[in-house]
Protein backbone atom coordinates (compact mmCIF):
# COMPACT_ATOMS: atom_id res chain seq x y z
CA UNK A 1 0.00 0.00 0.00
CA UNK A 2 2.77 2.40 0.98
CA UNK A 3 4.60 1.74 -2.26
CA UNK A 4 1.42 2.35 -4.26
CA UNK A 5 0.85 5.67 -2.51
CA UNK A 6 4.48 6.67 -3.05
CA UNK A 7 4.08 6.09 -6.77
CA UNK A 8 0.86 8.07 -6.93
CA UNK A 9 2.51 10.98 -5.13
CA UNK A 10 5.72 10.82 -7.16
CA UNK A 11 3.92 10.91 -10.49
CA UNK A 12 1.46 13.56 -9.34
CA UNK A 13 -1.21 15.04 -11.59
CA UNK A 14 -0.28 14.78 -15.23
CA UNK A 15 -3.54 15.96 -16.77
CA UNK A 16 -2.95 18.58 -19.45
CA UNK A 17 -5.02 21.46 -20.77
CA UNK A 18 -6.91 20.40 -23.88
CA UNK A 19 -4.69 20.75 -26.95
CA UNK A 20 -5.47 21.88 -30.47
CA UNK A 21 -6.95 19.29 -32.78
CA UNK A 22 -5.49 18.58 -36.20
CA UNK A 23 -8.64 17.07 -37.63
CA UNK A 24 -11.41 19.62 -37.30
CA UNK A 25 -14.82 18.19 -36.47
CA UNK A 26 -17.44 18.80 -39.09
CA UNK A 27 -20.95 19.84 -38.09
CA UNK A 28 -23.78 18.48 -40.17
CA UNK A 29 -27.13 20.24 -39.93
CA UNK A 30 -28.70 21.56 -36.75
CA UNK A 31 -30.64 18.68 -35.31
CA UNK A 32 -30.82 20.09 -31.81
CA UNK A 33 -31.50 23.61 -30.70
CA UNK A 34 -28.65 25.53 -29.12
CA UNK A 35 -30.60 25.69 -25.87
CA UNK A 36 -30.81 21.91 -25.55
CA UNK A 37 -27.20 21.44 -26.49
CA UNK A 38 -26.18 23.92 -23.83
CA UNK A 39 -28.08 21.84 -21.26
CA UNK A 40 -25.85 18.88 -22.07
CA UNK A 41 -22.77 20.86 -21.15
CA UNK A 42 -20.95 19.60 -18.09
CA UNK A 43 -23.12 16.52 -17.97
CA UNK A 44 -22.98 14.42 -21.06
CA UNK A 45 -23.46 10.65 -21.07
CA UNK A 46 -22.02 8.76 -24.04
CA UNK A 47 -22.73 5.29 -25.35
CA UNK A 48 -20.31 3.82 -27.86
CA UNK A 49 -21.40 1.58 -30.71
CA UNK A 50 -18.69 -0.08 -32.74
CA UNK A 51 -20.58 -0.67 -35.97
CA UNK A 52 -17.73 -2.40 -37.75
CA UNK A 53 -14.48 -0.62 -36.92
CA UNK A 54 -11.04 -2.25 -36.90
CA UNK A 55 -10.66 -1.41 -33.19
CA UNK A 56 -8.18 1.43 -33.71
CA UNK A 57 -10.85 4.08 -33.03
CA UNK A 58 -11.76 2.23 -29.83
CA UNK A 59 -8.16 2.45 -28.63
CA UNK A 60 -8.17 6.22 -29.07
CA UNK A 61 -11.60 6.57 -27.47
CA UNK A 62 -10.30 4.63 -24.46
CA UNK A 63 -7.28 6.92 -24.38
CA UNK A 64 -9.58 9.90 -23.67
CA UNK A 65 -10.02 8.42 -20.21
CA UNK A 66 -6.30 8.20 -19.51
CA UNK A 67 -4.79 10.61 -16.97
CA UNK A 68 -3.35 12.93 -19.65
CA UNK A 69 -6.74 13.71 -21.16
CA UNK A 70 -9.14 12.87 -18.31
CA UNK A 71 -12.35 13.39 -20.27
CA UNK A 72 -14.44 13.25 -17.12
CA UNK A 73 -13.21 16.64 -15.96
CA UNK A 74 -15.47 18.13 -18.65
CA UNK A 75 -18.46 16.28 -17.21
CA UNK A 76 -18.41 13.78 -20.05
CA UNK A 77 -18.63 10.11 -19.17
CA UNK A 78 -19.33 6.78 -20.81
CA UNK A 79 -22.38 4.75 -19.85
CA UNK A 80 -23.11 1.07 -20.32
CA UNK A 81 -26.61 1.36 -21.72
CA UNK A 82 -27.98 3.48 -24.57
CA UNK A 83 -30.99 4.12 -22.30
CA UNK A 84 -28.73 6.26 -20.09
CA UNK A 85 -27.03 8.11 -22.94
CA UNK A 86 -27.37 11.56 -24.44
CA UNK A 87 -24.92 10.92 -27.22
CA UNK A 88 -24.13 7.98 -29.45
CA UNK A 89 -20.53 7.66 -30.61
CA UNK A 90 -20.45 5.45 -33.68
CA UNK A 91 -17.23 4.03 -35.13
CA UNK A 92 -16.48 2.03 -38.26
CA UNK A 93 -18.18 1.65 -41.57
CA UNK A 94 -21.58 0.24 -40.68
CA UNK A 95 -21.28 -3.45 -41.47
CA UNK A 96 -24.45 -5.02 -42.85
CA UNK A 97 -24.50 -7.32 -39.87
CA UNK A 98 -24.48 -4.35 -37.47
CA UNK A 99 -27.06 -2.25 -39.30
CA UNK A 100 -30.08 -3.54 -37.35
CA UNK A 101 -28.25 -3.40 -34.01
CA UNK A 102 -27.18 0.17 -34.70
CA UNK A 103 -30.74 1.24 -35.50
CA UNK A 104 -32.09 -0.50 -32.40
CA UNK A 105 -29.42 1.12 -30.21
CA UNK A 106 -30.24 4.53 -31.70
CA UNK A 107 -33.94 4.02 -30.96
CA UNK A 108 -33.05 3.10 -27.37
CA UNK A 109 -31.36 6.46 -26.70
CA UNK A 110 -33.93 8.86 -25.26
CA UNK A 111 -34.65 12.12 -27.11
CA UNK A 112 -33.13 14.64 -27.45
CA UNK A 113 -29.99 12.86 -28.63
CA UNK A 114 -26.81 13.52 -30.55
CA UNK A 115 -24.98 11.23 -32.96
CA UNK A 116 -21.26 11.57 -33.57
CA UNK A 117 -19.58 9.62 -36.37
CA UNK A 118 -16.00 8.83 -35.32
CA UNK A 119 -13.16 8.20 -37.78
CA UNK A 120 -12.73 8.07 -41.52
CA UNK A 121 -14.77 4.87 -41.92
CA UNK A 122 -17.75 6.32 -40.06
CA UNK A 123 -17.38 9.57 -42.00
CA UNK A 124 -17.30 8.11 -45.51
CA UNK A 125 -16.75 4.34 -45.40
CA UNK A 126 -12.96 4.73 -45.35
CA UNK A 127 -10.93 1.84 -46.72
CA UNK A 128 -13.94 -0.44 -46.56
CA UNK A 129 -16.36 1.70 -48.58
CA UNK A 130 -19.72 0.26 -49.56
CA UNK A 131 -19.83 -3.42 -50.45
CA UNK A 132 -21.90 -6.57 -49.99
CA UNK A 133 -20.83 -6.51 -46.34
CA UNK A 134 -20.54 -2.79 -45.59
CA UNK A 135 -23.12 0.02 -45.71
CA UNK A 136 -20.34 2.63 -45.60
CA UNK A 137 -20.80 5.94 -43.74
CA UNK A 138 -22.89 6.14 -40.58
CA UNK A 139 -24.96 8.89 -42.23
CA UNK A 140 -26.26 6.24 -44.65
CA UNK A 141 -28.09 4.72 -41.68
CA UNK A 142 -28.63 7.41 -39.02
CA UNK A 143 -28.94 11.21 -38.89
CA UNK A 144 -25.45 12.38 -37.89
CA UNK A 145 -24.74 15.64 -36.02
CA UNK A 146 -20.96 15.73 -35.89
CA UNK A 147 -18.26 13.99 -37.93
CA UNK A 148 -14.77 13.58 -36.46
CA UNK A 149 -12.22 12.75 -39.16
CA UNK A 150 -8.92 10.88 -38.79
CA UNK A 151 -7.78 7.29 -39.11
CA UNK A 152 -8.09 7.05 -36.20
CA UNK A 153 -8.76 10.53 -34.76
CA UNK A 154 -6.44 11.38 -31.85
CA UNK A 155 -7.88 11.75 -28.35
CA UNK A 156 -7.57 15.53 -28.74
CA UNK A 157 -9.54 15.46 -32.00
CA UNK A 158 -12.18 13.32 -30.32
CA UNK A 159 -12.51 15.58 -27.27
CA UNK A 160 -12.71 18.73 -29.38
CA UNK A 161 -15.35 17.08 -31.54
CA UNK A 162 -17.46 15.90 -28.63
CA UNK A 163 -17.27 19.28 -26.93
CA UNK A 164 -18.20 21.02 -30.21
CA UNK A 165 -21.40 19.02 -30.19
CA UNK A 166 -22.46 20.48 -26.86
CA UNK A 167 -21.18 24.00 -27.14
CA UNK A 168 -23.57 26.75 -28.14
Q: How far apart are CA 86 and CA 112, in angstroms?
A: 7
Q: Report the residue number, 40 or 69, with the smaller CB distance to other proteins.
A: 69
Least distance CB 21 / other proteins (angstroms): 13
Among 80, 107, 111, 168, binds other proteins (CB under 8 A): 80
Q: Check binding of 7 to other proteins (CB under 8 A).
A: yes
Q: Check binding of 20 to other proteins (CB under 8 A).
A: no
What Rg value do the Cα atoms of the chain yield, rounded?
17
Q: How far apart are CA 24 and CA 38, in angstroms?
A: 20
Taking CA atoms, 76 is separated from 10, 28, 29, 62, 145, in Å, by 28, 21, 23, 13, 17
Q: Which stretch binds other proteins (CB under 8 A): 109-117, 120-128, 140-148, 160-168?
A: 120-128
Q: How far apart are CA 132 and CA 120, in angstroms?
A: 19
Q: Report the residue number, 31 or 84, with the smaller CB distance to other proteins.
A: 84
The footprint of other proteins (CB under 8 A) covers 3-4, 7-8, 11, 14, 48-63, 65-68, 78, 80-82, 92-93, 95-98, 100-101, 105, 126-129, 131-134, 151-152, 154
Amino acid sequence: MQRMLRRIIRIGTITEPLGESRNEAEQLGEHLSVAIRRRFRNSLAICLVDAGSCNACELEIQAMNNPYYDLERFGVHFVASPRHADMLLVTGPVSRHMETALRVTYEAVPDPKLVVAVGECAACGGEFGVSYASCGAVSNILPVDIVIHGCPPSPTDLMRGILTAVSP
